[in-house]
Amino acid sequence: MEGCALSFWIYMGVMSVFVGGVVRKVLASHISAMPSLVAWLAATVLLERLCTLCLPAFLVLAGLCAACCLYSSRQAPNLATSLPTEGKAVLITGCDTGFGHVAAKRLDALGFEVFATVLNLAGEGAQELQRTCSPRLTVLEVDITRPEDVQQALINTKAKLGMKGLWALVNNAGLCVNFGDAELSLISNYRGCMEVNFFGTLSITKAFLPLLRQAKGRIVTISSPSGDLPFPCLAAYGASKAALNLFINTLRHELEPWGVKVTTIQPGAFRTGLSSNMEHWEKQHKVLLENISPSLLEEYGEEYIQETRELFASHAATAPTDVSHVINTIVEALVSPQPQVRYFAGPGVGLMYFIHSYLPTTLSDKFLQKLFIKKQIQPRSLRKQNNLGKIHSLNNNNNNNNISSLNNNNIITSEK
């Protein structure tokens, strides 16, 4: 009886997860939801059969994870059945390095008319784009946090487009100046991330919306899983991306009547831009030590902050450099007749979201802690408290042993 009851509850849990997943996907995919519906129902039927065999719970969980990974995997777009690129204009922000730089080259090669924004026209990234790409590509010097730069970019783009609208805006520019725990992160770090990742993206999106509405075009935004998942030591960066995600999702609803499709891409961890520069992490470490309050530094300890710097640098150094998965996803979002609302681009991203969405919080928290920043050193104050606790416990044990020994002696004396 107990075995049957356990099987029943496993069955109910699995079916609830997958039926909920079906409903969730259908509601999120307000366009062409049939492929998602078929895939989830097929997975549901398969696991329902597994449950009837009374398989152990861990096998069911493995099946869930495998189904999630298969579902979230994305292939390169089939250009034969995609929208034509000729005559379509795309503006991409943050093309000095990283995703934006590679995407600008790729979209130019596909025949798009590309407007690539960079921070420095004389920089190596801008020069390479001008040297290697076709005459269709235009490089614009734009700091998206400066309204005058954004307005000038709009004027230059309009002048070149003429009466034609803008097919797509790819919001790629971003910044991560966060370093360490939320309490240790400087207020300037929070403001810096918000200024670029949220307000900068907000500014350029609002400026170019009339051109996008005119073309019934698309907005593709490169966000981050840290905007949805509580990664340790990424509070400033994650908060800015969370604000960005909410803005973009709200915009998606509001622009639907205009025929503008809005997509968010959640990439995995890749080694791009400053993240691959060890001097960057050294500079961040130095700035933090110079500006943190003495009392806070005493409570956490320099060795704790030093370990965080080393973990960040190590994580960046081991991250993959091949960004083709992200670039393929950007292309798919631009040329697909029915782009998805959200894409996961990178190994393991779909699994992270699955664990965060469907498993208990305690398990998902442990998963993120083990996945990203594996801290070994405790803050100095906690180490002191633990040491005092051990000493106190040791003294109590000694006292108890002495009392026990004394009682035994008394018993022996009494027997004599």
Burial class for 165, CB neighbours closer than 10 Å (0-12, 13-18, 19+): middle
Report DSSP letters for 187-225, one per residue.
HHHHHHHIIIIIIIHHHHHHHHHHHHHHHT-EEEEE--G
Single out the residue of 218, 200, 198, 197 nearest to residue 209, CA to CA. 218
As a whole number of angstroms, the distance between CA 209 and CA 215 comes to 10
Element (H, E) at 273: none
Sign of CA dihedral 374, 379, 383, 385: negative
Token pair of 357, please? Answer: 């969405």
Angle between helices 57-72 and 2-28 (to 10 degrees): 10
Alpha helices in 29-166 (DSSP H): 34-52, 57-72, 98-109, 124-132, 147-161
As a whole number of angstroms, the distance between CA 114 and CA 137 comes to 5
Does the annotation mark 237 as catalytic?
yes
Element (H, E) at 177: none
Token pair of 383, please? Answer: 């180490």
Single out the residue of 176, 380, 179 nearest to residue 287, CA to CA. 179
Burial class for 152, CB neighbours closer than 10 Å (0-12, 13-18, 19+): middle
Q: Beta strand 113-118 with 138-141: parallel, antiparallel or unpaired?
A: parallel
Q: Are 63 and 89 in contact (CB under 8 A)?
A: no
As a whole number of angstroms, the distance between CA 389 and CA 385 comes to 6
In the set 190, 237, 300, 358, the catalytic residue is 237
Single out the residue of 383, 372, 387, 230 nearest to residue 300, CA to CA. 383
> SS3 for 171?
strand
As a whole number of angstroms, the distance between CA 320 and CA 317 comes to 8
As a whole number of angstroms, the distance between CA 138 and CA 132 comes to 12
- AA identity, residue 203: S
- AA identity, residue 63: G
Sign of CA dihedral 171, 91, 164, 109: negative
As a whole number of angstroms, the distance between CA 279 and CA 277 comes to 5
Q: Annotated catalytic sites, by residue? A: 237
